[in-house]
A and B are shown apart, each in its own frame.
Chain A
Amino acid sequence: MTAIAPASNHTGSRTTRLLGAAVLLGLVALILLGFFGAPEDDEQRDAVRMIFIHVPSAIFTYVAFVTTAIGSVMWLLRRSIWWDTVAGAAAEIGLLFCGLTLFTGSVWGRPTWNTYWDWGDVRLVTTLILFLMMIGYLSVRSLGGDEGATATRAAVIGVLAAAILPIVNRSVEWWENNTLHQKSTLTDGDLENLTLFTLFVGFAVWGLFFAWSLIHRFRITWLERELRAIDLDRALDERRAERDDV
């Protein structure tokens, strides 16, 4: 059944409302667990509570940019506008997550590493390069002009950015004498049960927020395309009317 609903002016739907409510509930649980449930760390004391926002931001940066890469490949192979739209939407959200990863990591680094930033640190700098590449990707997408050519240029950058993801992720293993960053919390770390549980609540919240944002951002791009099509149709109609008048 495809009955048309009343024309409410927003990009929401029942699915996004459910997702949004779940994000808000999850956030409340995350704040309570993160600040009052999970125990402090022996060395870092309460600074360890940054892990519940930093690691989910980092993991969903990867998820978002892999989504962009998949969308980019699908555009390059099949010229799928749907996938190109997904790629662009995921890139914007990934850029937000990547920025938060850099910021929260820096704030966490001051009391634990004794520095906000180190320009020679391979994990930090490769993450910053990833962030810049996605700014480049979004800049190319906003260039305008021929949509197909723009999507193709952006898709190439999207695939290249994804290609450096393994370097970013594995840098702490491959160049362990070039980084202050610890190894992977999830694969190499030893965590208290409640710390691990809270971290997974963080993953759930970030995942739900990613899904909510992706759907809304997709629909926004869809509306922008529809508007361009409407404007073009109108312009063509006006030109035809002018020609008929002559």
Chain B
Amino acid sequence: MTDALTPQAPRSGRTRSRRWVPTAIGATVAVLIVVLVWNLFTGALFFYNADEAIERRSELGDDRFTLQGTPVGCSIVAGVQGSDAVTAFTVAFDGALVDVVHRGEPAELFEGGTPVVLDGQWVNDSAGVDGFEGLADDGWHYASDRMRVKHDEDYINDDEYEERLAEADALAAAGDCTA
């Protein structure tokens, strides 16, 4: 006779399936974490600021890379390059200037003074957009096809903000723009 208090019944199928589900979830989660960490180390979003991008121009060649800079408000021009509608502007970072020609819709918050993060590549040619006087004007421009905005951590409601924007627009319209 077996001891009545000795556990004897094998685990039911239902209990086994209950253990199987969290185990599968845990394993999936572990795999996903490895993939995400690998992605961070290998294909992470990494941008060069405008000054670094100029410094590494020969090294970058015609490779695609990500560029960060702050658009100079009065330089922004909507125009045409070839048959494409583009937005041309100059970005600044730490005193360095890069002329940019962006194909496609600019970001909703795109405006002078708010940093942008762009995907694209160097082109060894001037921008060639009517009405755009690139402030860099160094025979190069950055051809971009993806724009994101990197806004700052300030959340301010300044009465003079609209006035400043209007002032930059007026300068751009008059073709009077200095960095």
Contacts and interface: CB of A to CB of B under 8 A. Distances in A.
* Direct A–B touching, Cβ under 8 Å: yes
Interface of A: 39-44, 48, 51, 111-115, 118-122, 125-126, 128-129, 132-133, 135-136, 139-140, 142-145, 177-180, 182-185, 188-192, 195, 236, 239-240, 242-243, 246
A95 to B, nearest CB: 12
Contacts of A144: 15, 18-19
A143 B151 contact: no
Contacts of A133: 29, 33
9 smallest beta-carbon distances between A and B, as pairs: A120-B45, A114-B107, A189-B153, A39-B157, A243-B4, A139-B22, A42-B161, A190-B154, A182-B153
Given A41-B156, A185-B155, A129 B22 contact: no
Nearest to A239: B4
Given A122-B40, A178-B45, A114 B155 contact: no
Contacts of A145: 19
Given A129-B36, A139-B25, 8 more contacts: A41-B155, A42-B161, A112-B109, A113-B149, A120-B39, A132-B36, A139-B23, A179-B45
Given A145-B19, A180-B148, A242-B4, A120 B40 contact: yes
Given A190-B156, A191-B155, A180 B150 contact: yes
B150 A182 contact: yes
B154 A114 contact: no
Contacts of A191: 154-156
Given A136-B29, A139-B22, A243-B4, A111 B109 contact: yes
A7 B167 CA distance: 72
Contacts of A140: 22, 26
A84 B108 CA distance: 47
Nearest to A131: B29
B153 A120 contact: no
A183 B115 CA distance: 14
B47 A177 contact: yes
B5 A129 contact: no
B32 interface: yes
Interface in B86-145: 107-111, 114, 117
Interface of B: 1, 4-5, 15, 18-19, 22-23, 25-26, 29-30, 32-33, 36-37, 39-40, 43-49, 68, 107-111, 114, 117, 147-158, 161
User: Among B5, B33, B44, B111, which residue has the most Cβ atoms of chain A within 10 A?
Assistant: B44
A143 B109 contact: no
A125 B39 CA distance: 9
Contacts of A185: 153, 155
A121 B45 contact: yes
Contacts of A43: 109, 111, 114, 151
Contacts of B43: 119-120
B30 A136 contact: yes
A42 B25 contact: no
B25 A135 contact: yes
Contacts of B22: 139-140, 142-143
Nearest to B49: A177
A118 B157 contact: no
A192 B148 CA distance: 25
Contacts of A142: 22
B157 to A, nearest CB: 4
A113 B150 contact: yes
23 contacts: A39-B157, A42-B158, A43-B109, A48-B155, A111-B108, A113-B107, A113-B150, A114-B107, A115-B148, A118-B148, A125-B40, A133-B33, A135-B25, A136-B33, A139-B26, A142-B22, A143-B22, A177-B47, A178-B44, A182-B150, A192-B155, A192-B156, A242-B4
